[in-house]
Structure 1
């Protein structure tokens, strides 16, 4: 029977024995949705969505680490794997989400209504994402060393998560301001609805909110420390991290941004089709 074992002396890596069934279930779930993303990417050639696949692979390996830790709570290897590889994937998901907003703006020819030019919008937010990634990764590496380094690692991770939350807050504000400005001027023009850009924006808001909730939970988790409720109760991790991140991947798969592919001369292909249809109706209908 699995039991909680110390890593070194009286220092414990885990505050509970990680559930083997839960880890296996989410390993399978992330494997399935990651495979679906791979299929979609190769079918549509939307390579900017590749961070979702990389993040999904990290989740799979991370839950493999949790499964292995069930009977090895005193071993450092499985703990490091699950700590780092379940912490960082949302940063990768964010990168694709940021790039989608730039594509939405270009697809509907709404550059003039964006607070940040589409040419640098992605760079600004992805740069923040990269900073968050390395800060969290460094903190997770220190945390994994255990003992006196744990508090330092937790503080660094909280700092990285706060960077991610701030960048996401700015991103949502930028997206909301763009949509408000754009709809005010273009709402009555049917051609600009042909790309389904409103559905794209709603999907962006949805997945962004889920990642934001997850990041806030992680801040609370690490800020509360090893004696806090979240790190002592495994269900909080699965409810506020595992489930939310799987839903993010599922929503992004269901709403796939292939409708934002550029057409002739940078205009959306859907808009071109709409214009052709209008011409035929005008002269032949």
Structure 2
């Protein structure tokens, strides 16, 4: 039995829940000479929607190639009106990282990428600050683009970013503490493939200086939220959140320092799950099949 990534694929699907979906999908994979390695499913009784993620492999060389299996699956998908995707596991997703002055999330993602913890092809790093801001980081040959932005040049700057996305065939854009609000037009262009890390446990303390807001309220928990970007500021579907307990002894600066650690791990988990096809959209929410 082959377990190489080249012989594996991930199938994700969603649809109105109805009898027979799992039986037909698993039956089809069996007919194609495939073996299911991992299967997760969720029936949202509130919305009547069904979601599934299946990782499978070709048992041996007598099975059709993944492309042919994907093409043949169209018949099953049409029968059940599935929204679906089948992606080979050896296909690296292409990721563009956007960052501003605070670089802790960027440094963390670069480290996880370098040691192979997050499999991705980084197509570039874009910042509204010059490269000298990050002189202590090793970009390891990753193209760096300094695209300064002002209120007057915002449209032009965003056009350049979208141009980079298209030129580099980028699949996913990550706002790794990129402290610029995207326009409605850019948010729409990147719908479902742009992840933001917000240094607050949304929906609380949105907008500027959330840690200062939290400190002023005397909160006992701080957190961070990774979510998909939408035109509604900080209202996009949430992928992952985490919190940490604090006390009355912590200053606003303490909250910021502790918050950096939460932001790093939350963004890393959200991006890894997204790249591994573990996040499925469910209206304004997400279904996350955690590993």
TM-score with structure 2 setting the length: 0.23
Which protein has the bigger helix share?
Answer: 1
TM-score with structure 1 setting the length: 0.23
Which protein has the bigger strand share?
Answer: 2
